[in-house]
Amino acid sequence: MNIVKIYAWLIVLLVVSMGLAGCGGGGGDNTTSSAGVFVKVDQQNIVLNPGSNQTFTATVTGATNTAVTWKAQKGSITAAGVYTAPETAGTDTVTATSVADPTKSGSSTVTVQQPAGITVKVNQQGLILNAGATQTFTATVTGSSNTAVTWTALHGSITSAGFYTAPATAGTDTITATSVADPTKSGSSIVTIQNIGVTISPNSTALAPSTSKTFTATVSGSSNQAVTWTASGGVITSSGVYTAPSTAGTYIIKATSQANSSASGSATVTVPAAPYVISTFSVSKYIPGVAFTVTLNAVPSASNSAYAVEDHIPTGWVISNMSDNGTYDSINNKVKWVFLDATPRVLTYTITPPATASGTVTFTGDGSFDYTTIDTIGDRTISNQ
């Protein structure tokens, strides 16, 4: 009988120990892994107010490429991991997925809860600004009739009216609005600062009315070279082909970075009224020993009875193929045309730089219209760089 009891107890102990073994291995944060890539979201069990921010980071092991892509189930999150909570209370899931192995990811649970009493929310969230750019911030205060806030910026500067100026260096900045009614309550926004520059070539030129020229833009500080073109007068295409208006004046061409709308560059276009002479080179850079064409668009006014055009070339450069019976003055190193009428003309000549030419050279010239002399405008300097 005692032996039977002993066997019964042994069986009970065996069953209990097997049950405990089956319950092991649980717990830990929300990660996925294999023998290869392992992804972990570093910030776990975060509690946020509706609309507030949190920067998430992830640790990736088992791969040399530690980049991740971010996704939020309800709120929003930037490529840099800056998360904005949804406007309603509840739970959200933030997931980081390995770029090296998209089947591996890690996640974190965010609890979004409505605060008691006064709440402050900065309305502008997830902004990307260029270094030195400006932005006006506003805040919404609930739970108090006094909706005034005080503004602070961690790195840049901000006025009492919320007018913010980004710092000169790239990185992130935090803008904070603090309730005047209850200084223990505040809201914040994280701003990403980029150091992007946009330059336009040419940055200054002259065009005859209704004529066209192609502009190019170079974006520094970003792999995204795309820009949006606009013009204060005339028309410019998405590829930078500008057509001047028919009305004389000075117009601004602007290229805005699509990577950062606060980064832009500009160029000036002069559209003259007659009489004028506008120069255009057939190349943007010269090659020593290789000829190119200079075009002079000469337009007298209707009242002119005669006009002359002169163009001085750089010393040592060789001129040839002058159109419209142009003559070359070798003593003064210039080409000249004389016309006894008021007919507009497109004058051309070929110019060849010496094989030893280098650096930037300048052309000078003018048009004499019934004894009134006007300097030639447009392409007047050229470099081999």
216-237 tens-digit pLDDT: 999 998 889 999 999 999 999 9
Phi then psi for residue 11, to 5 deg, are: -65, -40
Element (H, E) at 329: strand 327-329
What pLDDT is stored for residue 267 in this prediction? Answer: 97
Within-domain flag for 105: yes
Question: In this structure, are 379 and 286 located in the same domain?
Answer: yes
Token pair for residue 205?
A: 């030129």
What pLDDT is stored for residue 29 in this prediction? Answer: 52
Q: How confident is the model at residue 65 (pLDDT cuts 50, 70, 90)?
A: very high
Q: CA 190, CA 85: separation in Å to the nearest integer?
A: 13
Whole-angstrom CA distances from 260 to 70, 196, 228 are: 20, 8, 11
What pLDDT is stored for residue 7 in this prediction? Answer: 45
Query: What percent of the chain stands above pLDDT 70?
Result: 91
Question: In this structure, are 133 and 218 located in the same domain?
Answer: no
Question: In this structure, are 326 and 371 located in the same domain?
Answer: yes
Token pair for residue 6?
A: 């002993």
Q: How confident is the model at residue 27 (pLDDT cuts 50, 70, 90)?
A: very low
Question: In this structure, are 244 and 300 located in the same domain?
Answer: no
Q: CA 202, CA 217: separation in Å to the nearest integer?
A: 9
Question: In this structure, are 312 and 349 located in the same domain?
Answer: yes
Q: Residue 216's domain spans which residues?
A: 197-271
Judge whether 162 and 139 are in contact, CB under 8 Å.
yes
Within-domain flag for 303: yes
Question: In this structure, are 169 and 211 located in the same domain?
Answer: no
Over the stretch 190-215, which tens digit does the pLDDT of each residue have?
A: 999 988 999 999 999 999 999 999 99
Question: In this structure, are 358 and 304 located in the same domain?
Answer: yes
Per the model's pLDDT, the better-predicted residue between 344 and 50 turns out to be 344
Within-domain flag for 94: yes
Q: How confident is the model at residue 6 (pLDDT cuts 50, 70, 90)?
A: very low
Number of domains into which the chain is organized: 4
Question: In this structure, are 281 and 347 located in the same domain?
Answer: yes
Question: In this structure, are 241 and 332 located in the same domain?
Answer: no
Q: What is the CATH number of the domain that holds 179?
A: 2.60.40.10
Question: In this structure, are 190 and 205 located in the same domain?
Answer: no
With 0-12 / 13-18 / 19 or more C-beta atoms within 10 angstroms meaning exposed / middle / buried, residue 375 is exposed
| pTM of the full structure | 0.56
What pLDDT is stored for residue 22 in this prediction? Answer: 38
What pLDDT is stored for residue 139 in this prediction? Answer: 97
Question: In this structure, are 367 and 287 located in the same domain?
Answer: yes
Q: What is the CATH number of the domain that holds 328?
A: 2.60.40.740
